[in-house]
Amino acid sequence: MSLTDKDKAAVKALWTKISKGADAIGADALARMLVVYPQTKTYFSHWPDLKAGSAPVTKHGKKIMAGVAQAVAKIDDLSSGLLDLSELHAFQLRVDPANFKTLGHCLQVVIATMYPNEFTPEANVALDKFLSNLALALSERYR
């Protein structure tokens, strides 16, 4: 389900509205994922604190959103634009790609809570498609 020009425009428009709150979105989505999907905690056994608002969660949420920002900038060619991130996830982090969908869902829930008027059904479908394509691009180098 590739991104149409309409999808890309909708994603960029939504991103313009939410990007100032990106750090908060990332931190909330990550903290939320660790609570709602406890199996994801297995990737962070090296962190002293997994609670919402903790230093590692806040810092990492920011990092994740920097990746999303990179994806928005490379929306016209996600698979080549995210090659470095794909290699990181494939060879070093070795995150099961199923988790990309999980985090994507949490991101959308957080955006819904923080930007209920902006996250219309039309914005929802475009963002859902974008995050699916982002996940696919991140999986590119896995095998």
Q: What is the DSSP string of 110-125?
A: HHHHH-TTT--HHHHH
Rounded Cα distance between 143 and 9, Å, is 32
The closest of 131, 138, 136 to 85, measured between CA atoms, is: 138
Site for other proteins in 109-128 (CB under 8 A): 109-110, 112-114, 116, 119, 121-122, 124-125, 128
Nearer to other proteins, 43 or 142 (CB): 43
Nearer to other proteins, 36 or 73 (CB): 36
Q: Look up residue 125 and give its two tokens.
A: 């479908």
Residue of the chain from 26, 32, 65, 131 that contacts other proteins (CB under 8 A): 32
Residue 102 contacts other proteins per CB under 8 A: no
> Least separation, in Å, of the C-beta of 108 and other proteins?
6
Kindly give, in sequence order, each residue whose CB lies less than 8 Å from that of residue 28, ignoring residues fewer than 6 positions away.
52, 61, 110, 113, 114
The binding site for other proteins (CB under 8 A) comprises: 31-32, 34-36, 52, 105, 108-110, 112-114, 116, 119, 121-122, 124-125, 128
